[in-house]
């Protein structure tokens, strides 16, 4: 019975630790892969989760879980284009998408015409 209790305690500790860490970025060197989109013009001036007005010309983005104020490098693996953005909002709220970019950031990634693009998101700070 002692071995089962130790095993259960180990499992419980691992479960608690995994819930306490950010699953998308458990370590600063990890990269998240998925699809990026960009904000519609109708959100220009809307209040972001950080409290500041959204600006299509700023290099900003929305991410569902990274701390507001984080900087990330967004890279298109298919073209090699990349841009560094500040996370100042929450989203995207569409299945399969991992980051929602300002129009300026999307332009720097060459994804305006397509609307979405495959990306890798790497935490900078």
Q: For the domain 27-123, what is the CATH code?
A: 2.40.40.10
Q: What is the pLDDT of residue 6?
A: 43
**Predicted local confidence at residue 54, as pLDDT:** 97
The per-residue pLDDT of the chain, averaged, comes to 84
Residue 16 pLDDT exceeds 50: no
Residues 55, 99: contact at Cβ < 8 Å? no
Mean pLDDT computed over 107-113: 97
Which of 99, 89, 93 has its CA nearest to residue 49? 89
Higher pLDDT, 6 or 49: 49
Cα–Cα distance, 76 to 56 (Å, whole number): 20
21-58 pLDDT, tens digit each: 344 555 545 899 999 999 999 999 999 999 999 999 99
Tell me the domain boundaries of the chain: 27-123
pLDDT value of position 120: 98
Q: What percent of the chain has pLDDT over 70?
A: 77
Chain length of the chain: 125
């Amino acid at each position: 019975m002692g071995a089962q209790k130790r095993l259960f305690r180990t499992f419980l500790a691992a479960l608690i630790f995994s819930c306490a860490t950010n699953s998308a970025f458990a370590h600063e060197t990890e990269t998240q892969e998925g699809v990026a989109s960009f904000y519609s013009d109708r959100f220009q001036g809307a209040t972001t989760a950080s409290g500041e007005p959204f600006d299509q010309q700023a290099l900003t983005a929305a991410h569902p879980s990274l701390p507001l104020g984080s900087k990330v490098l967004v890279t298109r693996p298919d073209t090699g284009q990349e841009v560094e953005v500040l996370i100042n909002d929450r989203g995207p709220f569409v299945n399969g998408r991992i980051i929602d970019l300002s129009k300026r950031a999307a332009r720097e990634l060459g994804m305006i015409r397509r609307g979405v693009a495959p990306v890798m998101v790497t935490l900078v700070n």
